[in-house]
A and B are shown apart, each in its own frame.
Chain A
């Protein structure tokens, strides 16, 4: 287990950099994760539209949405999602939205 310094406090991350407690997520923390884990210095409105949709889906249904749903809700093309989040929808976008790591080959 590792940690991320956030407002002088260590936030627990699992070995792959996902929040140990998804419940503590907020948008400031998303930005800190983006900088520490994804190498993104700033998040654009496009990033936020993806992150907010994924977070909303998670809070409602407890899982990660299909990338199809992300594209539909945000109006972004699939290729754009991959450009926005270099580590991909799972290890990039879902991580910044504070989700646990999705199961499967990811």
Chain B
């Protein structure tokens, strides 16, 4: 039991519960509300949930998690729930139910959506869990470390509170490394290049602690002769943790950093680096949050690399990646985001032996790090236990390298690697492509 949570529950007033209910109901579309009375308790969702697959207890059944939410909905928003609560399983929103909601939607769910694939009714469980998270947020019940990550983005323009000069210095450092790696003194990592075709965005984790993936992406752009840039001041961070707190006004403010940078720099294509929730946020949720159609395409760097290979703009030698590679499917990129084949086409060319997990693609299992879990320390043990499903899948492939086109997943997979002694290397797709590049001579790079 979390003391932070209990202390917060102690302070809740009737007005807080009322506000939570109001936000919950207000955030539900009518179709979503109808789904709150649709579960037939078939139990098939359980097989899709990595929490339940690793720990088969009732509270880990997605339908049970939904039941906590539906029972409150019935009590407060349906006639039968008010008249005969016992008959329809309606429960008032009180301290116990608030605790049950927090436990269900923050503590046992990564919003991965795998349960919905199994659902006989087609209930969009992640949308309903998101509505519950949004309500809990209005009551101040979002775990503090998750909320802190959102606050960083709102105050500093990136989720790790990196200062502009620190970011610029790291980019310049990676440019020097790129020049040393390619032997091309003209190789650039452009900053604020006005009118560049592509605005590239990264996860602050790369800048702060793991910049080699930035260097790898830059090397691919260099080889392709791409006209690209990074933004120095706001609009370089692709993350949006408000996707996980489900506070849509904050999410809109964060995604606006990207659209503002596109306008400021006059770029044509917004390119999202290897990040699942960042892609989902910019590509699909962003226009919803900002209530506007973006006047530019949003693409994943995976799509760009796929295009470069198809068009012959870059060439790779798969012999340079000899060890067996398996591919992790980030839920926000693949199941929610619709990007499944580009990374597979890229890897089939860039590595000698790609071994798929079973299942994979849209039917993948979550690594366990999604939905903001990595930022919520209090659920760490559950997160690692639930990740065993993914660890077992990886082990079964016999792969020595896991390609993971998502920095959030990479962090979870790194912990699983240690916890379950997988003895694998975890890399971005761009790192594998960069390693396999048949490097053009300098004169061939120039347009």
Q: Could you tell me which A residues sit within 8 Å of B by CB distance?
A: 14-16, 18, 63-64, 66-69, 78, 86-91, 101-106
Contacts and interface: CB of A to CB of B under 8 A. Distances in A.
B180 to A, nearest CB: 12
Contacts of A18: 377
Nearest to A101: B377
Given A15-B377, A88-B210, A90-B209, A103 B159 contact: yes
B420 interface: no
A103 B377 contact: no
Contacts, number: 77
A54 to B, nearest CB: 11
Given A66-B207, A68-B169, A87 B212 contact: no
Contact of A104 (B208, B380, B415): B208
Interface string B1-43: 0000000000000000000000000000000000000000000
A103 B152 contact: yes
SS class, residues of chain B in contact with chain A: helix
A68 B381 contact: no
Contact of B380 (A15, A90, A105, A106): A15
A19 B432 CA distance: 36
B411 A68 contact: no
B212 A104 contact: no
B378 interface: yes
Contact of B239 (A78, A89, A105): A105
Interface residues of B, number: 35
Contacts of B418: 86-87
Nearest to A103: B149
A78 B380 contact: no
Contacts of B170: 66, 68
B173 interface: yes
Contacts of A16: 377, 380
B97 interface: no
B205 interface: yes
B414 interface: yes
B374 A103 contact: no
B281 interface: no
Nearest to B409: A105
A14 B211 CA distance: 27
Given A66-B166, A90-B208, A105-B411, 4 more contacts: A67-B209, A68-B166, A101-B377, A104-B160
Contacts of A63: 161
Contacts of B205: 104-106
Contacts of B407: 105
24 contacts: A14-B377, A15-B377, A15-B381, A16-B380, A67-B210, A67-B211, A68-B166, A68-B169, A87-B418, A89-B210, A90-B209, A101-B377, A102-B160, A103-B145, A103-B161, A104-B159, A104-B160, A104-B203, A104-B205, A105-B204, A105-B205, A105-B407, A105-B408, A106-B411
Count chain B CB atoms within 10 A of each CB in A78, A101, A105 and give the residue with the most: A105
A47 to B, nearest CB: 17
Nearest to A64: B208
Nearest to A63: B161
Contacts of B210: 67, 88-89
Q: Which of B148, B210, B379, B381 neighbours the largest number of chain A CB atoms within 10 Å of its CB?
A: B210
Contacts of B169: 66, 68
B379 to A, nearest CB: 8
A67 B149 contact: no
Contacts of A87: 414, 418
Nearest to A62: B161
Given A68-B173, A78-B211, A105-B407, A15 B378 contact: yes
B305 interface: no
B392 to A, nearest CB: 22
B377 A104 contact: no
B49 interface: no
